[in-house]
Structure 1
């Protein structure tokens, strides 16, 4: 706590106090605020002392900053958890219709689409997110598509653990690893700085639905139905 300037305090007492504080590693500014005197006076009184080692003070500041950050990080994590829990509770269980609409929107955003210059009315989906893959497979199941109609293939960088990735995606899809087609390997470009490395990298899973032209047309029509429904509601 800073002392109020006391005109009755002998300068010698202030000087002795300034020296003591400087020996504790205090800066000129802190001593000035503490004693209520000018910085030039502080300098005059303690300039004969060696400059304090900034190491301990710097470490204390860093430790205080880390503690502050840890508290803020914990609060943010709790806020995220509560927001996610509230979002999940808001959705609840999906009806068959809601699952159908969710799957259509997901496919139109992430799946392979038919183009006027490239006729390809077939359902093919690729993604690296296990939860997205699970939702897509559940959507197919709700449409009566059995696993026997699916061709599954891993797409991954050639330097990664291909067999480990196939085991990972087999667990996600709930199938035996033996059903996978030959993996698609992405060639290494030495000029590219890759961030998708490490044990958490499993590449993408490609899901191809055989004999799916009619299903693709139904999905595309449903997507345009969603768009028209939104337009009519506005």
Structure 2
């Protein structure tokens, strides 16, 4: 049996389908404007279709909350577009910065290592040392220490510093820093712990790896030389 569907009948069937979808969305608690946007139907039409549907107190409360929420609906789309533009601008600037640094010469690395020690190195107990929580900085400093300053790898000692609340993760943390540094766990000294308990709860505590302290044995002469290297950089600031 052949059924011929006229254009008017097609429009009528489409309207019935849209009305059914609108009623279903309204029963789920969606607002009139949201349904209108989803179905590409005027708000007045949706309002007429759904006028007899009673919302629960919870649904009414949620609609009121959304109406006051600056991040809902089209406003959220606008906020996200601004956020994406900002992220794109940040990526562009980051790429520009990487390009400006370019390939480092041996002297570039040498000077950078001095600056790092000036900022984060140990200076008071006449023992060469450095501490940081950034894996990239740890790698850079060890590369500088071994390749530029010719410190034997066997003379390097590492020590992990952790908050006492992460005491049960010592082995995991030491393994992490051993992989980062390329230094055997056998060259790790006894860890030290911060005794206070954090009040702030971190969202991903398993990504906390504390601070790594680097020491180099039998390097008093190098320690004194680095002090001189830092003084050499200070002369630049003196004009």
TM range (shorter): 0.5 to 0.7
1:177-188 equivalent positions in 2, closer than 5 A = 177-188=185-196
C-alpha displacement of 1:55: 4.8
Q: The residue matched to 2:122 in structure 1 has which SS? A: coil
**Residue 150 (1) aligns with residue 156 (2):** yes
**Residue 213 (1) aligns with residue 223 (2):** no
Q: Equivalents in 2 of 1:175, 1:225: separation in Å?
A: 31
C-alpha displacement of 1:54: 7.6
Whether the 8 Å CA contact 2:173–2:209 is kept in 1: the answer is: yes
Aligned residue number for residue 124 of structure 1: 129
C-alpha displacement of 1:63: 2.3
Whether the 8 Å CA contact 2:131–2:213 is kept in 1: the answer is: yes
Compared with structure 1, are the counterparts of its residues 162 and 63 closer, same or farther at alpha carbon in structure 2 (3 Å cutoff)?
A: farther
Q: Which runs of 5+ in 1 are unaligned?
A: 1-23, 26-52, 115-119
Cα RMSD, aligned residues only: 2.2
Out of 160, 175, 178, the residue aligned to residue 183 of structure 2 is 175
Out of 146, 167, 170, the residue aligned to residue 162 of structure 1 is 170
C-alpha displacement of 1:178: 3.2
Q: Equivalents in 2 of 1:121, 1:78: separation in Å?
A: 47
Out of 100, 118, 121, the residue aligned to residue 108 of structure 1 is 118
Q: Greater helix share, 1 or 2? A: 2
Q: Equivalents in 2 of 1:202, 1:106: separation in Å?
A: 20
1:31-42 equivalent positions in 2, closer than 5 A = none
**Residue 83 (1) aligns with residue 90 (2):** no
> What is the TM-score when the length of structure 1 is the normalising length?
0.68
Q: Which runs of 5+ in 2 are unaligned?
A: 1-31, 34-59
Aligned residue number for residue 6 of structure 1: none
C-alpha displacement of 1:230: 3.2
C-alpha displacement of 1:59: 2.9
Q: Equivalents in 1 of 2:61, 2:163: separation in Å?
A: 48
Compared with structure 1, are the counterparts of its residues 56 and 169 closer, same or farther at alpha carbon in structure 2 (3 Å cutoff)?
A: same
Compared with structure 1, are the counterparts of its residues 113 and 194 closer, same or farther at alpha carbon in structure 2 (3 Å cutoff)?
A: farther
Q: Equivalents in 2 of 1:195, 1:109: separation in Å?
A: 29
Whether the 8 Å CA contact 2:156–2:187 is kept in 1: the answer is: no
C-alpha displacement of 1:80: 1.3
C-alpha displacement of 1:65: 2.6
> What is the TM-score when the length of structure 2 is the normalising length?
0.67
